[in-house]
Structure formats: structure tokens, C-alpha cells
């Protein structure tokens, strides 16, 4: 009790810093909506599935999904509650870190000990990635608190069953908790030589595995299959993920040296167990390829586990090099300042981008739900970012990345020339564009712009069905290059199109990467000329049914005032695809400039048939006589 009273000031200070950090970083991760969609379907009687009738485990936390279901039964907006629950669990993690560090520093003078334990709590509290994930609406905060609670309970109360029940809870929260069971369970057997305490986590693991196999016909969540493209790619991605962690959290790798020194200083069995768990966890994350999401979510358990030893190592080195009073506290303060600052700007940028993306996808989903209500039939949508879109649209959503689709996750159709494209930042490498198009989605959503950025989006351009049956569509007010929608061409429009021989476009896909690069160059004033030259070269090599390059050349020529060139490129685009709505819109604008009513009526008719909101959403007042 005396120790706890001594730690209260440190707990309060670190807790206050964490609250300030977490509230500042509070946001909604799009993946949080994926769990909510499963919860909504479970509550509606469809089972814990993303799309009714498709028994796929597209969530990774059964406990968080069940908690979301319970909250959803009482409120239509459970996300704020889930955010604050994650933040409260983050507070618990900070407090547990302080208590654990206090015990690890058992032979340090009380005054230093209190400051260093508080410093460990402040280090965790001010780490941007920890606060970022705690308030994201996902299960990360709960998972870290339960995991650290199990470790601390095992190390300091090994004869109690607390660690066992907490490990069982961790298994329900995240599947990687099997590592926790393996290490803590093995140590328990070596010390206690009793299997009784192992029963809760083992029975929990057996129960959840039996549930998966019988209901989902899979041993692991579908997300595992979707995110593991192959060991060579996984190791490359995993090492890059680890390097980012070393840079921002372990002080360019210096921290790992301090952790090693701290673990050596505390050569107790408990220290060996903690370090072994951290090392095993780190290796597993690297082998599995890290995470598709940024900011070290999967390595936060390693950070939390090693923080006491990091503090011990800093204290030891500082005392040996400079034997001044409070040297170790000053060194720890510098470490806290570095970690708290190094990734802050990057995370604030990620929060802004994620907020914009969730907002756009939510508005798109709401608009598509309105369209479904007007047509009095359910819609099917294919997309690369699915959470907020599925939540707001209430449609059947095909995840083109395979996270919630078993066929894409387990039977990908890879086009080597597309998958080998350098410079693609998306880490989801599995896709099956032919399967997506065979399901005939009403809409296809590109989440980050007209440029096909994900491999799954680029693969669509290699399918003749996409060029033949889908057209650009502006669905919501304020649409920008942040997200783009394609709509399946209406039957009355398809009847007006000439009969074409569907082509196998897979034999010529190199142009797709060049096209994407050109779109990047068009955004920068000093590279627009290079973009035009690149597009002009591509105009000669793109498949005959592809109009995208010519349409972009038409837009670029229009923007610089070259009416003749714009007309030439738009005309060629429409020869290739008579339903290229962006080219029709460009020709409509050119016709208005020439005061050519017949041409304006012709192209305006195509736009209003295929994309009726385009004129009004772009603020163009078109008299009825034009049509």
C-alpha cells in the first residue's frame, strides 16, 4: 500500500498527459465500421457476417464485435462510447506500466525509483502511436490493457488465477494472444507444475477455434488470409514495418540497445519471460508482414512490454557515463521528448487523411442508399475502403482487397505485371478483378481518387468487362479527387452502344502504371508538361477500348485553352468508348463555348442519361432547351 501511495502522483501526472494526448488524437478509423457492420448483422439475425448470406469472419476481435453488438442494441451511435472505452483502457495501461516499472527498479533509491517509474508512464502516455490507436474506435486499447495486465499478474502474483483469466480474455480480443498463452503458460508449468491455471485460456482457445471451423469453415479470421501474400513479400513488408518502429519509438534503434542493457541488469526469471515474449511477438509481426495500417499497431505490445527495461537501460547507462545526480532522469526526459515529437506530425496528417476518407465514404454510402431506396432494390458495391461505406449504405459490399471476401483472400487472380509495379503504397496485394466484375456490382468505388492506386483497382483496367460495362459517375455533392465512383451502365445506355468484341487486355498492362504516374505528374504545376508527353506516348499503346488516357489529354488541353486539341482527344476517347461521360461532359462544355446547340444537346443527353447529377453538382445551370 505504501508503494501505491508513493506512485499516485506519477499515475496522475502520466494519466493527465495521456488524456491530453489521446483526446487530441481522437478519430475514427474506417476499419472500426467493419466491426460495427458485423455487429449490426448479428443484431438483425443474419449472424456475425459482413454481408448477409456470406459466412466470412471479416473482423479480428470477437470480444470487440460482441461488445459493439451490445452497445448497438441501446444506441445507434456506439462509436463515441467505444472510443472512450479505448482511451480508458489506455489509462489503465499507463498505470500498469508505472507499477511494473516500479517493481523492476526494486534496488534503485526510492526518490529515483519514483521518478523513473513515472517517467516510464509518461513515455507510454506521450507516445503518439499509442494514443492514436487507443482512441480510434478499435480494440487496441483494450487489448493492450488486458495483455499487460496478464503479464504483470503472472510476474507478481504467479500463484493467482488472475493472469489465466486475463489471458483467456486476450484470446477473445485478438488471435495473436496465442503467443501470450504459449510464453506465460510455459513459464507457469515450469514453476508451478500444474495445468489447472491453464484451463481457462486453453478452453477459450479451443472454443473460439471450434466456433470458427464450424461456422466460418476456417481456422483463422479471413483477414489473416487476405493479408499474407507470401513469405518473401511478408518479410520485406515486415522489416520495413519494424524499421519505422525503430525510427519513431526506439529512437533510431538506440532504444533496443537500452532495452538489452536493462534486461541484462535485471537477470531475473520474470525479466527473461517478458523479453522472450517481446522477442517472439516482434518476430511474429515481422514474419507475418507487419500491418497494412500505419503507426505500429501490431508492435505496440512489444513497446509496452519492453518499456520498463528501456527505462532501466537508460538509467544504467546514464549513471555509468555521467555520475551526476538525476542524470538518468534527464536522459529519460530526452527520450520522452524524442518519442513524443518524432511521429506527432505524421500522425496528425494520418488523422486528417483518415477523417477526410471516412467523411467521403460516409457521404457516398448515404447517397447510394438513397439511390437504392429510389430504385426499391438492394445495391451491390465493390470498393477498396469498405467500413464507413458499408455502414452508411446498408448495401452488399464486395471488399476488393479480400478482407471480408473469402474468394479474393483464398483464390486471388494475380496479374504479375501489375503486382510488380513499383511505388504502390497499398500493402494489400491480393485481388481478383474478374471475380468482382462477375458479381456485377452496381457501383465500384475508388477510395483515393481517379488514379487507380491499389493493385485491386489497377487490375480492373486489365479486364474488358470493366471498360465495357462501367462508366464514371459523380454521386455526391462536393465530390473531389479523394474518391471516385463508377456505375454500371444502364440498360438503355448499353442498347445505344455499338456491339464490341470484348478484348483480353491482360496482354498489355504496362500502360496502367505509366497512366497512374502521369496522373500524379498532372497534379504538380512543374511536371504537367512531362505528364502530357507521357500521356501522348501512352495514347498509341493503350488497348483500343480504353478511353481514359485520351480523356485526360482532352481535359489537360481544355485547361490550357487549346480547344482544337481538346476536341481531338475527346473525339478519340468517345470513338473508343461512346459512353465516356467525362469526355461527353468536356465536349458539352466546348459546344457551349461555340454556341453549338445541337452538339450541346447530343453530349448533354449522354451526361444526363448516365450521370444525371453531374451538371447540378458542379454548379452548371443548363436550360431545358439545351437537351
Question: Is 500 contained in some domain?
Answer: no
Question: Is 350 contained in some domain?
Answer: no
Range in 37-41, 327-331, 537-541 the model is least confident about: 327-331
Identify the band that residue 406 occupies on the pLDDT scale cut at 50, 70 and 90: very high
Q: Report the pLDDT averaged over residues 262-272.
A: 72
State whether 75 and 176 are in the same domain: yes
> Which string of DSSP letters, residue by residue, matches 263-287?
HHHT-SHHHHHHHHHHHHHHHHHHH
State whether 29 and 163 are in the same domain: yes
Among 280, 312, 342, the domain boundary falls at: 342
- Beta-strand ranges (E) seen in 257-407 are 380-383, 396-399
- Write out the residue range of the structural domain in which residue 373 sits: 364-488
State whether 194 and 304 are in the same domain: yes
Question: Is 357 contained in some domain?
Answer: no
Determine the pLDDT at residue 492. 64
Question: Is 383 contained in some domain?
Answer: yes
Determine the pLDDT at residue 527. 82
Question: Is 354 contained in some domain?
Answer: no
Range in 50-54, 276-280, 340-344, 478-482 the model is least confident about: 478-482
Determine the pLDDT at residue 627. 35
Determine the pLDDT at residue 625. 41
Please name every residue paired with 353 in a beta bridge, in sequence order, or none if there are none.
none
Determine the pLDDT at residue 260. 78
Among 342, 377, 396, the domain boundary falls at: 342
**Residue 622 clears pLDDT 60, i.e. is over it:** no
**Residue 479 clears pLDDT 60, i.e. is over it:** no
Determine the pLDDT at residue 369. 92
Q: Report the pLDDT averaged over residues 47-62.
A: 94
Could you tell me which residue, 505 or 186, shows the higher pLDDT?
Answer: 186
Question: Is 573 contained in some domain?
Answer: yes
Percent of the chain as helix, strand, coil, to the nearest 5: 70, 5, 30
**Residue 487 clears pLDDT 80, i.e. is over it:** yes
75 vs 87: CA distance, rounded Å? 20
State whether 528 and 569 are in the same domain: yes
Q: Residues near 55 by Cβ (< 8 Å), separated by ≥ 6?
A: 47, 49, 215, 216, 217
Phi-psi region of 405 (alpha: psi -120 to 50; beta: other; left: phi over 0): beta
State whether 400 and 439 are in the same domain: yes
Instruction: Give tens-digit pLDDT for 513-522.
Output: 888 888 888 8
Cell of 154: 503472472
Determine the pLDDT at residue 626. 40
Determine the pLDDT at residue 311. 84
Q: Report the pLDDT averaged over residues 15-30.
A: 92
Q: Report the pLDDT averaged over residues 516-543.
A: 85
Q: Map grid coordinates 463555348 to a residue.
A: 593
55 vs 33: CA distance, rounded Å? 18
124 vs 263: CA distance, rounded Å? 18
Determine the pLDDT at residue 425. 80
State whether 199 and 299 are in the same domain: yes
Determine the pLDDT at residue 410. 94
Identify the band that residue 73 occupies on the pLDDT scale cut at 50, 70 and 90: very high
Determine the pLDDT at residue 201. 95
Mean residue pLDDT across the chain: 86
- Can you give the pTM of this predicted structure? 0.91
Q: Report the pLDDT averaged over residues 313-324.
A: 74
State whether 545 and 588 are in the same domain: yes
State whether 245 and 136 are in the same domain: yes
Identify the band that residue 255 occupies on the pLDDT scale cut at 50, 70 and 90: confident
Determine the pLDDT at residue 624. 47
The CA-based angle 617-621-626, given to 5 degrees, is: 120
Question: Is 477 contained in some domain?
Answer: yes
- Classify residue 214 by its DSSP letter: I
State whether 272 and 409 are in the same domain: no
Determine the pLDDT at residue 623. 47
Cell of 550: 485520351
Could you tell me which residue, 500 or 556, shows the higher pLDDT?
Answer: 556
Is residue 470 within 8 A of residue 581, CB to CB? The reply is no
253 vs 260: CA distance, rounded Å? 11
Range in 218-232, 352-366, 475-489, 515-529 the model is least confident about: 475-489
State whether 298 and 383 are in the same domain: no
Determine the pLDDT at residue 493. 66
Cell of 280: 517472439
Determine the pLDDT at residue 223. 92
State whether 85 and 229 are in the same domain: yes
**Residue 504 clears pLDDT 80, i.e. is over it:** no
Could you tell me which residue, 544 or 163, shows the higher pLDDT?
Answer: 163
Range in 79-88, 317-326, 435-444 the model is least confident about: 317-326
Determine the pLDDT at residue 34. 96
Instruction: Give tens-digit pLDDT for 185-215.
Output: 998 888 877 788 899 999 999 999 999 999 9
Q: Report the pLDDT averaged over residues 400-419.
A: 92
Determine the pLDDT at residue 618. 59
State whether 263 and 382 are in the same domain: no
Cell of 495: 442498347
3-state secondary structure of 623: coil
Q: Map grid coordinates 479470421 to a residue.
A: 221
**Residue 138 clears pLDDT 60, i.e. is over it:** yes
Range in 102-111, 241-250, 341-350 the model is least confident about: 102-111
Q: Residue 578: count other Cβ atoms within 10 Å of its Cβ.
A: 16
Is residue 311 within 8 A of residue 116, CB to CB? The reply is yes
CATH number of domain containing 561: 1.25.40.10
What's the structural domain count of the chain?
A: 3
Q: Report the pLDDT averaged over residues 30-58.
A: 95
**Residue 93 clears pLDDT 90, i.e. is over it:** yes
Question: Is 470 contained in some domain?
Answer: yes
Amino acid at each position: 500500500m505504501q508503494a501505491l501511495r508513493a506512485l499516485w502522483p506519477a499515475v496522475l501526472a502520466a494519466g493527465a498527459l495521456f488524456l491530453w494526448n489521446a483526446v487530441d488524437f481522437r478519430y475514427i478509423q474506417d476499419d472500426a465500421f467493419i466491426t460495427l457492420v458485423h455487429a449490426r448483422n448479428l443484431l438483425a439475425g443474419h449472424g456475425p457476417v459482413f454481408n448477409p448470406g456470406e459466412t466470412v469472419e471479416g473482423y479480428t476481435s470477437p470480444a470487440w464485435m460482441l461488445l459493439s453488438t451490445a452497445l448497438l442494441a441501446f444506441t445507434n451511435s456506439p462509436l463515441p462510447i467505444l472510443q472512450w472505452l479505448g482511451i480508458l483502457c489506455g489509462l489503465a495501461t499507463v498505470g500498469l506500466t508505472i507499477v511494473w516499472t516500479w517493481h523492476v527498479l526494486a534496488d534503485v533509491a526510492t526518490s529515483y525509483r519514483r521518478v523513473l517509474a513515472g517517467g516510464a508512464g509518461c513515455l507510454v502516455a506521450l507516445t503518439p502511436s499509442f494514443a492514436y490507436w487507443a482512441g480510434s474506435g478499435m480494440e487496441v486499447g483494450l487489448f493492450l490493457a488486458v495483455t499487460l495486465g496478464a503479464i504483470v499478474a503472472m510476474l507478481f502474483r504467479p500463484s493467482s488465477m488472475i493472469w489465466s483469466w486475463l489471458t483467456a480474455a486476450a484470446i477473445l480480443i485478438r488471435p495473436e494472444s496465442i503467443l501470450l498463452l504459449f510464453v506465460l503458460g510455459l513459464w507457469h508449468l515450469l514453476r508451478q507444475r500444474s495445468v489447472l491455471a491453464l484451463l481457462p485460456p486453453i478452453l477459450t482457445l479451443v472454443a473460439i477455434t471450434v466456433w470458427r471451423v464450424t461456422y466460418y469453415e476456417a481456422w483463422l479470421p479471413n483477414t489473416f488470409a487476405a493479408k499474407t501474400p507470401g513469405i518473401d513479400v511478408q518479410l520485406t513488408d515486415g522489416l520495413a514495418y519494424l524499421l519505422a518502429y525503430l525510427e519513431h519509438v526506439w529512437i533510431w534503434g538506440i532504444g533496443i540497445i537500452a532495452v538489452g542493457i536493462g534486461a541484462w541488469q535485471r537477470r531475473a526469471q520474470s525479466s527473461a519471460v517478458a523479453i522472450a515474449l517481446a522477442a517472439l511477438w516482434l518476430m511474429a509481426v515481422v514474419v507475418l508482414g507487419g500491418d497494412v495500417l500505419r503507426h505500429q499497431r501490431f508492435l505496440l505490445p512489444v513497446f509496452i512490454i519492453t518499456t520498463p527495461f528501456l527505462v532501466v537501460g537508460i538509467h544504467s547507462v546514464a549513471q555509468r557515463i555521467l555520475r551526476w545526480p538525476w542524470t538518468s532522469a534527464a536522459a529519460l526526459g530526452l527520450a520522452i521528448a524524442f518519442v513524443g515529437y518524432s511521429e506527432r506530425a505524421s500522425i496528425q496528417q494520418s488523422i486528417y487523411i483518415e477523417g477526410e476518407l471516412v467523411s467521403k465514404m460516409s457521404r457516398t454510402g448515404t447517397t447510394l442508399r438513397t439511390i437504392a431506396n429510389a430504385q426499391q432494390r438492394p445495391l451491390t458495391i465493390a470498393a477498396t475502403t469498405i467500413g464507413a461505406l458499408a455502414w452508411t449504405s446498408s448495401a452488399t459490399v464486395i471488399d476488393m482487397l479480400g478482407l471480408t471476401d473469402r474468394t479474393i483472400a483464398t483464390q486471388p487472380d494475380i496479374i504479375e505485371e501489375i503486382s510488380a509495379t513499383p511505388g504502390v503504397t497499398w500493402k494489400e496485394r491480393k485481388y481478383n478483378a474478374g471475380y468482382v466484375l462477375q458479381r456485377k456490382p452496381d457501383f465500384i468505388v475508388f477510395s483515393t481518387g481517379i488514379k487507380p492506386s491499389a493493385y485491386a483497382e489497377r487490375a480492373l483496367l486489365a479486364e474488358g468487362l470493366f471498360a465495357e460495362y462501367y462508366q464514371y459517375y459523380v454521386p455526391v455533392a462536393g465530390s473531389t479527387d479523394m474518391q471516385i465512383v463508377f456505375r454500371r451502365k444502364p440498360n438503355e445506355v448499353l442498347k445505344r452502344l455499338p456491339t464490341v468484341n470484348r478484348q483480353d487486355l491482360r496482354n498489355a498492362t504496362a500502360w496502367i502504371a505509366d497512366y497512374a504516374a502521369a496522373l500524379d505528374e498532372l497534379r504538380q504545376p512543374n511536371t504537367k508538361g512531362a505528364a502530357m508527353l507521357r500521356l501522348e506516348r501512352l495514347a498509341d499503346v493503350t488497348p483500343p477500348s480504353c478511353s481514359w488516357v485520351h480523356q485526360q489529354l482532352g481535359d489537360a488541353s481544355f485547361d490550357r485553352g487549346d480547344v482544337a486539341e481538346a476536341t481531338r482527344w475527346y473525339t478519340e476517347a468517345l470513338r473508343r468508348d461512346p459512353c465516356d461521360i467525362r469526355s461527353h461532359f468536356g465536349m458539352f462544355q466546348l459546344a457551349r463555348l461555340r454556341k453549338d446547340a445541337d452538339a450541346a444537346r447530343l453530349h448533354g443527353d449522354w451526361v444526363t442519361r448516365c450521370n444525371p447529377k453531374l451538371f447540378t453538382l458542379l454548379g452548371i445551370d443548363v436550360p431545358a432547351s439545351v437537351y
